[in-house]
Amino acid sequence: MRVSSPPAASPHVDDHRISTTGYRDAESLFRSKPIAEIRNTESATRKQIDDKKEELRQLVGNRYRDLIDSADSIVNMKSSCNAISANITAVHDHIRSLSQSQSQSQTKPHSQSRAWTYGIACRVKYLVDTPENIWGCLDEGMFLEAASRYSRAKHVHQRLFIDSDEHKIKILSNFPLLQHQWQIVESFRAQISQRSRDRLLDRGLPIDAYADALAAVAVIDEFQPEKVLDLFLESRKSWISQVLGNAGAGDDSSLVVSVLCDVLGIIQVSVGQVGESFLQVLNDMPLFYKVILGSPPASQLFGGIPNPDEEVKLWKSFRDKLESVMVMLDKRYIADTCFAWLKECVNKISGRNLIDAIGSGQELASAEKSIRETMESKQVLQGSLEWLKSVFGSEIELPWSRIRELVLEDDSDLWDEIFEDAFLGRMKAIIDLRFRELTDTVDVVNTISAVVDSFTRQIDVQLYLTRSYTAGGVWFLESNAKKTGVASGFKVHPEENEFLSCLNAYFGPEVSRIRDAVDISCQGILEDLLSFLESPKASQRLKDLAPYLQSKCYESVSAILMALQKELDSLYGSMESGDKVVPTTVTVEKSLFIGRLLFAFQNHSKHIPLILGSPRFWASGNASTVGKLPSLVKHSRFGSDSAICDSPGRQTSLGSKRQNSTATAALFGAKEGASPELEELNKTIGDLCIRAYNLWILWMSDELAAIVSQDLKQDDALTLSMPGRGWEDIAVKQDQSDENQLEMKISLPSMPSLYIISFLFRACEEVHRVGGHVLDKKILHKLASRLLEKVVGIFEGFLSTEVGDAHQVTEKGVLQLLLDVKFVIDVLSGGDSNSVGELSSNPTAKPSLRRKQGQSLTISAIRERSNQLLNRLSQRLDPIDWLTYEPYLWENERQSYLRHAVLFGFFVQLNRMYTDTVQKLPTNSESNTLRCSTVPRFKYLPISAPALSSRGPKKSFTPSSNEISSRIESSYNSCYC
């Protein structure tokens, strides 16, 4: 037998049965269970079905009865409501009838007086409670609520006393303490105003607190919005004063920078809060207006007072007046007010002179960097970010830029408004201070006096002329820096060290110290300025600071030159007056020291011409860059290559770390021309240098002239009829008609007199002592001119005095004088004014091209005197003999000139002569070069010193020997080498 599946109408029962029995279908049930168990299961299932049906029947029956009961209740409720409505209507009618009857009857006076008394008592209580209420508001920081409470209490007091009739006043007499109580309330007006103002002075509060305090002041003091804005900005000015008071000009620079950053933050926050509180953007009401115009309904403000109709009217009138006063401020007015306040803040900051604590341009640049970072920081304007977001609708990356556009309506940099002028002025003050320190440090007068103290005992001229080579006597190399330039880096060649040693030996320690002090100071000032130029304002600053720096540098160096000029004036005065207190040698040594110092400034100062040159070269730090200098600097002595090699270990350019900086970009945009002060300073230094050496020239020429004059007067060989030492026989061939040539021998001098050679050698030796080839050629020109003038004058005087002398000069003596004079004139021809002019006009021409014999030149005064002297001497000879002697004598002079060209190279280089003449070996035995001993050459000449044999015993040649005669003899013997 099979059991049919449960009907589809009861799927839940079927699922429950299957789940409890664990069988899925009837087939599995019959396979696994016997028939008895299946029947028991069927019986249990049918019983459960019956139980569920009975339960469902009972449930439906109960709910139906409840529904019937609910319907009955609703009907009863409707009946009750109708009855209640009828009762209310009846009561209403009875009340109306009673009211009408009562109005018709006379009101009893006692009830009316009682109501008035009750109202007055409530108002008195309101006034009594007001002080406590205001105190609570002040303690909680609710200043606007305190001001509002005071205003409402004022309205209540006005209602009681001002608007009361006699009857009410009589009732008020029952409250004797009311007037005293009102005085207490009245005293809170000043407290509310002061406490609100004090709240504005507190830092670190949210902007809502400041808006509440401003609204309280506006209510209590009846301020208009313009006055409220002024009050707000004035309180922020107090903030700035308080911060500035925490630092002084003597404080550390880091503290000053921190204070300036704090002040800048106050200004930024204040401007931002002005915008949020007073500026209307789009349709949003500013925060200040929201606070002051927001108020609960008037009916809720006079709690405890019955029928406060009059008070409400007074309060509404007060609010209407307040709303009419609180008009929106114009954007332009807000911007102008903020700018005026900003200027006052700038004046307050400048008045404190805090920036004076910053002592260098590098510190100024660091301070600027910190201030700019503060200005662009979002952290400072954290409180205004939400307002900016609500205005612009998104997050703001540069809040201050947006605030500046909204509030100030200007895109100018806040740095320009506050700090730029102050920082620029401080940089100028630093430059001025550093140059004044330089001027005070370089005390040339005392230095000169201290240096020449060692010469005070050298009164004897001969000892001074034979002094040792202490400072001069050097032959300068061409510096490797000229060949390799700055590209060689820090590598110092041995030749560089040798060159510097020679340079320092020439200058001496004091000249080197002064030069280095000036140069290092100028370098430090320039580097400081370049550090300050590392700013977005580099171009504007350079236009202002570059002329100022050059002007101060010029003034500082000019002050040093002025001191040197006064010292030179004093030396010239001492020399002209013949002051015996100060030895002449001391005066000369002082002038030489000044000359070396001026030479160091003119040729071996690196940063003076760099500063006075074009600012475009400040970045490279090298004013001698070949091919890149302005023409003025390149042709000036300041622009010489020697300036590069003074400090080979410091050849790193000033701008090596600024290749991509704003300062470099600004420098490259500067004008290329040098400042006018450079040419003027160069000319001044050159003139002073020549003037300093001119004192030495005057003294030396006088001393050497005196020696030559004495030797000339004592020369007995001039009165002899026999040929003297250094003469040679020359074979002269005569043409005959029979074609037979006769040979005639004439004896002529072949070399100058020893005292003439000694004279010239002493002069060259002195030139070698004081500087040698480093001397300016203008100085050598003046020296040659002065010596030539002296020698010509000596020979002129000798001929004038010799006429009446018992010992007349013989023909042989005249020939020797002619050779001596012509030799001196040729050697010193570089002193001719025409030669000097030609050199200065064409400095690059080769000597062979600019000095040719027979060249047509305007005859100068000294040349005319020289020619007249030669004519006077030649007239002492027989005209026919002179025609015979002249070509051979002048040929001997030319050969002697060529043989002495190296020995007297200092003068010969000024005007090289006889370049077309072929040099011949001397024929006389006394001039045989085989007798010369080996002599040391100048150390740096590009030729070697060959060893020469000698017939006699060898003698070493010592240039610094004190025996003048042996020196002259050796120089004569070596003049052909």
- Per-domain residue ranges for the chain? 53-102, 481-691, 715-927, 929-977
pLDDT of residue 770: 83
**Is 35 buried (19+), middle (13-18) or exposed (0-12) by CB count in 10 A?**
exposed
Q: What is the identity of the amino acid at 495?
A: E
Distances (CA, A) of 848 to 776, 784, 855, 909: 21, 20, 12, 11
Question: CA–CA separation, 597 vs 564, rounded Å?
Answer: 9
Question: CA–CA separation, 218 vs 197, rounded Å?
Answer: 11
pLDDT of residue 219: 92
- Enumerate residues 6+ apart whose C-beta is below 8 A from 239: 201, 203, 266, 270
pLDDT of residue 818: 92
Question: CA–CA separation, 935 vs 947, rounded Å?
Answer: 8
The phi and psi torsions of 734 (rounded to 5 degrees) equal: -115, 135
pLDDT of residue 282: 78
- The answer to whether 817 touches 756, Cβ cutoff 8 Å, is no
pLDDT of residue 463: 59
Residue 743 pairs in a beta bridge with: 733
Long-range CB contact pairs, 962-970, < 8 A, 24+: 962/466, 964/466, 964/758, 967/758, 967/761, 968/754, 968/757, 968/758, 968/761, 969/754, 970/933, 970/935
The DSSP secondary-structure symbol of 455 reads G
Question: CA–CA separation, 675 vs 611, rounded Å?
Answer: 9
Burial code (b: 16+ CB inside 10 Å, e: under 16) for 939-962 equals: eeeeeeeeeeeeeeeeeebeeeee
Q: What is the identity of the amino acid at 582?
A: V
Residue 733 pairs in a beta bridge with: 743
The helices-and-strands tally (H runs, E runs) of the chain is 38, 2
Residues of the chain with pLDDT under 50: 1-23, 106-107, 470-492, 622-659, 806, 835-858, 928-935, 938-977
Kind of pairing between the strands at 727-734 and 742-749: antiparallel
Mapping DSSP to helix (H, G, I), strand (E, B) and coil, where does residue 5 land? coil
Residue 747 pairs in a beta bridge with: 729
pLDDT of residue 940: 47
What pTM was computed for the model? 0.69
Mapping DSSP to helix (H, G, I), strand (E, B) and coil, where does residue 842 land? coil
- The answer to whether 770 touches 696, Cβ cutoff 8 Å, is yes
CA 314, distance to chain mean position in Å, is 67
Question: CA–CA separation, 439 vs 514, rounded Å?
Answer: 11
**Containing H/E element for 747?**
strand 742-749
Place of tokens 């902007």: 207
Question: CA–CA separation, 172 vs 166, rounded Å?
Answer: 10
Closest CA to 945 of 963, 960, 932: 932
- The answer to whether 426 touches 360, Cβ cutoff 8 Å, is no
Closest CA to 275 of 140, 461, 401, 455: 401
Question: CA–CA separation, 116 vs 123, rounded Å?
Answer: 11
Length of the chain: 977
**Is 840 buried (19+), middle (13-18) or exposed (0-12) by CB count in 10 A?**
exposed
Mapping DSSP to helix (H, G, I), strand (E, B) and coil, where does residue 901 land? coil
- The answer to whether 948 touches 930, Cβ cutoff 8 Å, is yes
Write out the two tokens for 294: 């927001």
Place of tokens 């201070």: 433
Question: CA–CA separation, 933 vs 6, rounded Å?
Answer: 152
- Enumerate residues 6+ apart whose C-beta is below 8 A from 630: 613, 614, 672, 673, 674
- The answer to whether 532 touches 412, Cβ cutoff 8 Å, is no
CA 962, distance to chain mean position in Å, is 57
